[in-house]
Amino acid sequence: MKYVCVKEFTIPKIDDDGFEIENMNMICPRGMMLEKSEEKWRLAGGPNSIRLENDKMWIEIEKERFEECFVPYSKALRCQECKHMKSDIPIGNKRSWNYCRHPDYDCIRGYFLENMLVGDIGFLGFGTPDLKRKRPPKWCPLLRVCDTEQECERCQ
């Protein structure tokens, strides 16, 4: 099952043998999406830890921190609850045009260019201002998984 980080936190970096690397920490940013591993084997966290991974990395954290900082993806992000969603109702029109006005516009634009998408960049859909989307679009900057040491390729 996929989970999304809703509270940023820092954890020590671990080498391939399961030991902490001195003076090296990793920030798990809000919006990072990871999948919970069902394997019982743990490298660094011990039997009471939870392993989360994606195609770029893995982390093992305590169950208490997991419950505090992560929520299931299906409950995590909804455009209508996001502070960056804006609705415009053109004069003489009854339906609204809903857009994402996230400050990281370059990342959204980069996703559109990278995937050869045409249309209004950041457009979420027509409808009422309380847009009913089950999940945010793939280009949502809050879902972006970047290496914490350098910007993602779309943002460069």
The string of pLDDT tens digits covering residues 58-99 is 888 888 888 888 888 766 567 777 778 888 887 887 788 888
Is 127 a residue whose pLDDT tops 60?
yes
pLDDT at 75: 62
Closest CA to 34 of 8, 68, 64, 72: 72
Collapsed DSSP state (helix, strand, coil) of residue 52: strand
The Cα–Cα gap between 22 and 11 comes to 12
pLDDT at 22: 85
Is 124 a residue whose pLDDT tops 60?
yes
Mean pLDDT of 109-129: 84
Closest CA to 85 of 119, 32, 136: 136
Mean pLDDT of 106-126: 86
Cβ 67 vs Cβ 49: under 8 Å: no
Closest CA to 70 of 20, 103, 31, 125: 31
Listed in sequence order, the residues at least 6 apart from 82 whose beta carbon sits closer than 8 Å to its beta carbon are: 100, 136, 142
> What is the chain's percent helix, strand, coil content, to nearest 5?
20, 30, 50
Mean pLDDT of 111-127: 85
pLDDT at 130: 64
The average confidence (pLDDT) of the chain is 77
- Every domain of the chain and the residues it spans: 2-75, 79-155
Q: Say whether pTM exceeds 0.75.
A: no
